[in-house]
Amino acid sequence: MELVIAIAIGLLFGSGIWLILRPRTFQVIIGLMLMSYAVNLFIFVMGRLAIDKAPLTLAPGAPNPGDYADPLSQALVLTAIVIGFATTALYLVIMIGARGLTGTDHVDGEESEE
């Protein structure tokens, strides 16, 4: 399971890196989104992978925290998703603004010579 997830994260992040090095703003934003998915998965996995572990709840008696899934990485990933979503939306707005002002979707705001 670890291997599959690691390969998936690597694939997402690698594609993201390739895309943000491309000259078109649309490719850059898709690349940023792929990278943020990879990072979100990564944070989640850092709470350790486990099957059939219950979420941490207030059960009667003193529960053994080792029996439950790590709640903190889940909380972190939620926050990271929200923040990533907001900043990506902001970038989208600027992308559209740049397209309108410069008349091109090149990241430099002008077409290269060749």
**Interaction between residue 10 and other proteins (CB under 8 A):** no
- What's the closest the beta carbon of residue 59 comes to other proteins, in angstroms? 19
Number of residues that bind other proteins (CB under 8 A): 33
CB of 113 to other proteins, least distance (A): 17
CA distance 40 to 74: 10
> 34-73: which residues touch other proteins (CB under 8 A)?
35-36, 39, 42-43, 46-48, 72-73
User: In angstroms, rounded to a whole number, what is the distance separating the alpha carbons of residues 55 and 78?
Assistant: 15
Could you please report the per-residue DSSP string of 28-48?
HHHHHHHHHHHHHHHHHHTT-
Q: Using a CB cutoff of 8 Å and minimum separation of 24, what contacts does 51-57 make?
A: 51/1
Decide: 16 and 38 in contact? Cβ < 8 Å: yes
Residues of the shown chain interacting with other proteins in the complex, contacts defined by CB under 8 A? 20, 25, 28, 32, 35-36, 39, 42-43, 46-48, 72-73, 76, 79-80, 83-84, 86-88, 90-91, 94-95, 97-98, 101-102, 107-109
